[in-house]
Structure formats: structure tokens, C-alpha cells
């Protein structure tokens, strides 16, 4: 089973951008796809976006047009480019394999605040 490590979070002002990375210890697409999730304080973890082996992408409605998920297979990495961030995007962001889940990683904290 691969291990995924998230990075790239930080503090950003409203309207700003961040690019998160999900790096796999093995091949990034050992399963069919990779998902990004997020968990805000006091809320349940929610799905954000997915990319599959074919490069097809899917997004939750609240990030459509602002976030872009992509993959660099040579680097065993999936990215989440986040633009036009708002305070509502503040959360810990996690990636995981799909449909079969791997162990959850530590995630990366994204804080959007002025």
C-alpha cells in the first residue's frame, strides 16, 4: 500500500492562491484515482476533487472554476491549484487513493485570512 504525503499549505489572504502537492511513495495511480478532501474546524471531512488515470477530473461544486487538480506521473505527484481563496476554504487538506482508501496522512493546513 502506498503512502501519500501532503504539502504546500500555508497562510494566504482572501483572493490569493496556493498549490498543494500529494506525493506518493510509489506509483501515484496504484488505484484508479486520487481524491483531495478537506476538513474545516468542527466540520466533517468533505470531498473536493478527483483525478483518474485517464486524466479526467471531477470537482465539488463549491470549488469549480477556482481549483484545478492535475497529475505529474513521472513525479508520482498530484497537485491541487487553489485560486481565489476565501476564508471558507480554510481547512486541513488531505489526499487519498480511490476507490480503495489508503491510510490517511497528516494533511496540510490551509488558512485564508486577512
| pLDDT tens by residue, 98-114 | 999 999 999 999 999 99
15: left (phi over 0), alpha (psi -120 to 50) or beta: left
For the beta carbon of residue 44, count every other beta carbon within 10 angstroms.
7
Q: Is 80 exceeded by the pLDDT of residue 41?
A: yes
What is the Cα–Cα distance from 12 to 27, expressed in whole angstroms?
31
- 60-82, pLDDT tens digit by residue? 999 999 999 999 999 999 999 99
What percentage of the chain carries pLDDT values higher than 70?
100
Mean pLDDT for 48-55 is 96
Q: Which residues partner with 111 through β-bridges?
A: 11
Amino acid at each position: 500500500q502506498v503512502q501519500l504525503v501532503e504539502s504546500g499549505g500555508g497562510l494566504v489572504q482572501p483572493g490569493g492562491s496556493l498549490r498543494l502537492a500529494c506525493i506518493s511513495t510509489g506509483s501515484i495511480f496504484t488505484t484508479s484515482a486520487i481524491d483531495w478532501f478537506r476538513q474545516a474546524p468542527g466540520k466533517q471531512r468533505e470531498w473536493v476533487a478527483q483525478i483518474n488515470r485517464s486524466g479526467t477530473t471531477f470537482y465539488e461544486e463549491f470549488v469549480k472554476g477556482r481549483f484545478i487538480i492535475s497529475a505529474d506521473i513521472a513525479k508520482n505527484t498530484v497537485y491541487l491549484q487553489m485560486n481565489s481563496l476565501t476564508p471558507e476554504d480554510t481547512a486541513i487538506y488531505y489526499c487519498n487513493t480511490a476507490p480503495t482508501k489508503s491510510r490517511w496522512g497528516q494533511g496540510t493546513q490551509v488558512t485564508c485570512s486577512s
